[in-house]
Amino acid sequence: MSSKARVVITCGTKFHSDYVAEQLYKYGLLEKAITSHPRSRYVNRTNIPAEKLKFLTPIFVLPYFLKKAGTVGRWLARSIEYRLPALFDYYASKNLRKANISITWSWSGLHTIRAIQKAQGIAIVEESGSCNLEQSKLLQEEYSMLGLEFPDPTPSFIINRELQEVKLADYILCPSNYVAETFIKNNLPREKCVIIPYGVNLTLFNHYQEEKPEFSILFVGTIGVRKGLIYLFKALELIHKTQPLKCLLIGTVEESFRPIFDIYKHLFTYVGRVEQKELSKYYNSASAFVFPSLDEGMALVQLEAMACGLPLICTTNSGGDSIVQEGSDGFVVPIRDHILLAEKISFLYKNPEVLKDMSAKAVLKAKKFTWDAYGDKLCSFINQLSADIGNGCV
């Protein structure tokens, strides 16, 4: 006998949990969204009624303030930052009344998964990023190749907790094929992986500038090792030998990456950090978006750029592989391949008519990946689970 799905979302901070909660509410599936994110910063993007929200003590602001307290404070912040998700999970698991399906965020769902399953419910884990074990291996290797010290390796207890969660959960939500494959590689059954790419907010990001004064490429994100910026720099170095072009970088520079950043800074214009509401202006002023990331769940900046008319050049590990149609609205290249990256950038530079066509197709593609489209797919999947839900409630 099937039961109506009543979903509880537990997410210590925000990520995109507010968008997911709003979609579930729209379909009449949301029982409660539980978070420790400050109330004032959670409710401003959605129209979820107060009775569907549960705000626990905002414990995640503590590391934020500790980081401002010098070296000891930063060390202490990092230490407790990894432990707070488990604390949040413990208290969130005590607030599951009436729910029969849980969606928990990685690292912070073990207690909740056990509680919902004990009540014959279904546990889903949201994996915003790749398997931490695989990510750690990849980044350790990359930092070593660059001759840099890996500053913040993920602790083994976090890696183990994540693997426990996905093993115990009934399903895991993956935003891209790449994320799913990193877990399948670690013995997670393929059938447990549900791939639903994220969405873009089209009210914030839209295409309005057709004519560009000059060809330029844009990168938005943290400027560091994981984002693969060294390979963009090497690609620019190749391109500049024959055809200098403008490249803008938006984001914060990681301190460990600054020596490399300084070596190549003559190849690009560094803008720094930009508020989200201002990003659309930069997207619309550029010609193409380049995202050479080594490891990503699904970077939303890729969809934001496409919504603003930018063809996307991304890597197989960026999440863009689940969005881009090769040669139509963008290109997908292997990680660490600066030569192919340079070829794709040069191709768009030399072929303005192709660029214009790909720009139009990028806008159309982004419209297929809205949060409403995400909600349609997620809620359809959850409704299919109704037959598997037991009659018990937490």
Say yes or no: 233 and 320 in one domain. Answer: yes
Say yes or no: 249 and 149 in one domain. Answer: no
Say yes or no: 50 and 189 in one domain. Answer: yes
Classify residue 204: in a domain, yes or no.
no
Residues 354, 64: contact at Cβ < 8 Å? no
Give the pLDDT band (50/70/90) at residue 75: confident
Residues 340, 360: contact at Cβ < 8 Å? no
Whichever domain contains 97, its CATH number is 3.40.50.2000
- Torsion over CA: 270, 276, 281, 282 (sign): positive
Output helix, strand, coil percentages for the chain, rounded to the nearest 5: 45, 15, 35
Say yes or no: 223 and 348 in one domain. Answer: yes
Mean per-residue pLDDT, 365-370: 96
Instruction: In whole angstroms, give the CA distance from residue 87 to residue 217.
Output: 43
Instruction: In whole angstroms, give the CA distance from residue 42 to residue 17.
Output: 9
- The tokens for 259 are 């020596």
Say yes or no: 166 and 18 in one domain. Answer: yes
Please tell me the predicted confidence (pLDDT) of residue 1.
43
Structural domain including 69 reads: 7-199+371-387
Say yes or no: 222 and 184 in one domain. Answer: no
Classify residue 238: in a domain, yes or no.
yes
Could you report the per-residue pLDDT of 23-66, keeping only the tens digit for each? 999 999 999 999 999 888 787 777 899 999 999 999 998 887 77
Please tell me the predicted confidence (pLDDT) of residue 392.
46
Residues 310, 218: contact at Cβ < 8 Å? yes
Give the chain's domain count. 2
Instruction: In whole angstroms, give the CA distance from residue 96 to residue 295.
Output: 33
Say yes or no: 171 and 310 in one domain. Answer: no
- The tokens for 123 are 């546990």
Classify residue 90: in a domain, yes or no.
yes
Classify residue 81: in a domain, yes or no.
yes
Please tell me the predicted confidence (pLDDT) of residue 340.
98
Q: Tokens 């197989």 sit at which residue?
A: 316
Classify residue 209: in a domain, yes or no.
no
Predicted TM-score of the model (pTM): 0.92
Say yes or no: 225 and 301 in one domain. Answer: yes
Say yes or no: 42 and 156 in one domain. Answer: yes
Could you report the per-residue pLDDT of 89-117, keeping only the tens digit for each? 999 999 999 999 999 999 999 999 999 99
Say yes or no: 58 and 73 in one domain. Answer: yes
Classify residue 210: in a domain, yes or no.
no
Please tell me the predicted confidence (pLDDT) of residue 72.
59
Say yes or no: 281 and 296 in one domain. Answer: yes
Pairing of strands 122-126, 101-105: parallel
Query: Strands, DSSP E only, in 111-183?
Result: 122-126, 171-174
Say yes or no: 100 and 237 in one domain. Answer: no
- 3 state SS of 208: coil
Classify residue 135: in a domain, yes or no.
yes
Classify residue 185: in a domain, yes or no.
yes
In this model, does residue 2 exceed pLDDT 90?
no
Q: How far is CA 75 from CA 33, 152, 252, in A?
A: 31, 11, 20
* Averaged confidence pLDDT in the chain: 93
